[in-house]
Amino acid sequence: MTQEELFKKLIAHSKEYGFIFPSSEIYDGLSAVYDYGQLGVELKNNIKKYWWDAMTKLNDNIVGIDAAIFMHPRTWEASGHVGAFNDPLIDNRDSKKRYRADVLIEDYIAKQDDKIEKEVEKAAKRFGESFDEALFRETNPRIAEVRATREAIHGRMVKALGDNDLEELRQIILDAGIVCPISGTRNWTEVRQFNLMFETKMGSVAEGANTIYLRPETAQGIFVNFLNVQKTGRMKIPFGIAQIGKAFRNEIVARQFIFRMRDFEQMEMQFFVRPGEEMGWFEHWRETRMRWHRAMGFGDSHYRFHDHDKLAHYANAATDVEYEFPFGFKEVEGIHSRTDFDLGNHQKFSGKKIQYFDTETGESYVPYVVETSIGVDRTVLQVLSASYKEEALEGGETRVVMAIPPAIAPVKVAVLPLVKKDGLPEVARRIMNDLKFDHNVQYDEKDSIGKRYRRQDAIGTPLCVTVDHQSLEDGTVTVRYRDTMAQSRVSIAELPALVENEVSLKKLLEKVNG
């Protein structure tokens, strides 16, 4: 089975058993939007709890918040999203490649600069001058010409970007004779602008409604609440604020199942530190977050770091945790050292002082931030794709089993009467009622016992408890383990402790704690 086939099977399996459905499917679905079904929501909630506990319980200096999706529009000016998320894009029809129009022009300008430099060097050599002398003499008509067009193009680009004039941007590309680096042709489409933020209106139209955005990341809800939490929680630096919530991006290309959705969920933690100490904390969180992933037990070789060479406007260090999906290594989580960019900008845009008085140093400063930002849906996909297994059994049979870590499995225990008579269902119901306060438990009496085991395997239930006639006599039941298919006989009284031991989050959290 190829990885591609595996991925297709996984998607089909996810739908068939109620993990994930296409959104509004009866209306043909909505592109890149998915719904979580009855099992998917349990899995997702368990993953969120795993993260939340790893942040807020394991660290006494991390607290959580839950900010609104709507925020004041100025937030997104301060964060840079209004600017950075509005890229003018152009396609080359021959190579089918898409470029940022301004980047194409900038590359062109850089090339012209190289050309000028070369010509100047040549002139300097010929006339026995220094580079600077040749540069400023400007009698070489070739240099003057190249420089004039370079300046003209540059000037037009700056103006076009400022005016948001997309037609002019395209005209600049045509006038400069810029060709596609791949196809070498000038067969360009129109320049289009994609605003990655979803807009909506707040207030009635009559009142003069304001455009507001659905947040494209949850982080800003933390930054704008920095002082609220720091002061009311009497937090001392270093400390962190964690948040889980939905974010929305109008992706141009959104595909690969739930890997890139337009409506997605993030788990973000912003850790506030003393300026100058950010790199140590960056390393700390880089390692801690990798431990969190690896603790799930999918195999360390399926993870790697991808350190960024090219940094975003707000960062001075950045790395990704990548997981090896069926479609290759892809980013699941980002760890960024964001400096004081966010808090500093909010201070600037709001006019409110956002500073921390450090009693140790006696200084007042804008804290630096180290961020961990993980996609919930990507983690769900990571768990699903790591867990899906088709096993060959003796006798040429196969079984599909979801080897989901027990602590995050949607259903923890299935209670099964061997037959649905002779009082076995009643005993099974009693066991279920005893366990249901602590765990998600399923009851099933339909079909043969083997078939019921397979059904539970397919949804990743780690434990099956089977009630048989012997149970009536001595109060014992069979516990059947998903991964090994092994069985053991235990007394009903021992069940709560046994189940707790098998499915407890504590084991995972201990590994994260290091």
Partner RNA sequence: GCGGAAGUAGCUCAGUUGGUAGAGCAUUAGCCUUCCAAGCUAAGGGUCGCGAGUUCGAACCUCGUCUUCCGCUCCA
Among positions 88-107, residues that touch RNA (CB under 7 A) are 91, 93, 96-98
Q: Which of residues 25-54 bind RNA (CB under 7 A)?
A: 28-32
Residue from 224, 378, 427, 431 touching RNA (CB under 7 A): that is 378
* 429 contributes a contact to RNA by CB under 7 A: no
Q: Which residues contact 163 (CB under 8 A, 6 or more apart)?
A: none
Pairwise CA distance, residues 122 & 321, whole Å: 48
Residue from 160, 226, 478, 508 touching RNA (CB under 7 A): that is 478
* 450 contributes a contact to RNA by CB under 7 A: yes
Q: Measured from the CB atom, is 226 or 453 closer to RNA?
A: 453
Closest contact distance (angstroms) between CB of 255 and RNA is 5
Q: Measured from the CB atom, is 254 or 432 closer to RNA?
A: 254
* 505 contributes a contact to RNA by CB under 7 A: no
Q: Which of residues 262-301 bind RNA (CB under 7 A)?
A: 264, 266
> Does residue 250 sit in helix, strand or coil?
coil
Task: Report the candidate in 183, 210, 211, 207 with the shortest Cα–Cα distance to residue 197.
Answer: 211
Residue from 451, 472, 475, 491 touching RNA (CB under 7 A): that is 451
Packed helices 3-16 and 376-387: angle between N→C axes, nearest 10 degrees: 110
> Does residue 214 sit in helix, strand or coil?
strand
Q: Measured from the CB atom, is 123 or 409 closer to RNA?
A: 409
Q: Measured from the CB atom, is 232 or 488 closer to RNA?
A: 488
Sole residue written with tokens 């590994």: 511
Q: Which of residues 104-163 bind RNA (CB under 7 A)?
A: none
Closest contact distance (angstroms) between CB of 99 and RNA is 8
- Amino acid of residue 369: V
Sole residue written with tokens 């320049």: 191
Q: What is the DSSP string of 92-142?
A: BTTT--EEEHHHHHHHHHHHHHHHHHHHHHHHHHHHT--HHHHHHH---HH
| Helix/strand/coil (H/E/C) assignment for every residue in 160-186 | HHHHCCHHHHHHHHHHCCCCCCCCCCC
Question: Is the Cβ–Cβ distance between 321 and 289 less than 8 Å?
Answer: yes
Size, binding site for RNA by CB under 7 A: 72
Residue from 61, 86, 225, 256 touching RNA (CB under 7 A): that is 256
Closest contact distance (angstroms) between CB of 9 and RNA is 9
* 342 contributes a contact to RNA by CB under 7 A: no
* 330 contributes a contact to RNA by CB under 7 A: yes
Closest contact distance (angstroms) between CB of 335 and RNA is 9
Instruction: Select from 121-129, 132-140, 327-335, 338-346 the region that touches RNA (CB under 7 A).
Output: 327-335
Residue from 168, 320, 342, 502 touching RNA (CB under 7 A): that is 320
* 485 contributes a contact to RNA by CB under 7 A: yes
Q: Which residues contact 172 (CB under 8 A, 6 or more apart)?
A: 105, 153, 156, 157, 160
